[in-house]
Homo-oligomer: A and B are copies of this chain.
């Protein structure tokens, strides 16, 4: 089910297993130069064509309808060329997802409120991208069946994003802009969850003002006084 060939390699940077030790297990005859494997090197153009086709097919047919044969056909590539790179449909999808994640904007530091709104707004755009929603839904749905996949996603994609929110909030606590005893973790879930919940309730794009309202409401608290 998983990696079997020694020198297996994967494109897609962010979602990889870290460090690409591909040369490590290679036969290496002479011992010195470049951890290069013998034989024809893999085509990087194929890498790109496959990922692009995967995103495209995915966006049209959804996670259930994504079909390797179609991806191969659109990429102008043999099926084996895909299976040489990814062990299966889900792993391909993970890398396709990663290729869609826009980097969150760096906190500009003016105020916690503005930073949070900017971060949420970036997520809002992604959530408006149906491709993102679907890829990420597949991931969630398949989580139990492919825990390895889920863990990699959590480690490589989800947690770094949460960390950005956490950093902004912690900085707010430090500068006194936020309460000293604010529950940073809870706040992260409240904020990021609001976008998810909103995305879920309808097919339409989330309206621009939504992020502001959410942030303000959380900052103000609901309780009277």
Contacts and interface: CB of A to CB of B under 8 A. Distances in A.
Contacts of A192: 193, 197
B217 A219 contact: no
A63 B193 contact: no
Best-buried of A61, A130, A200, A213 by chain B (most CB within 10 Å): A200
Interface string A147-175: 10011001000110010000001001000
Main secondary structure of the interface of A (DSSP, over half): helix
A223 interface: yes
B130 A182 contact: no
Interface string A33-69: 0000000000000000000000000000111110000
Contact of A224 (B130, B159, B177): B177
A125 to B, nearest CB: 17
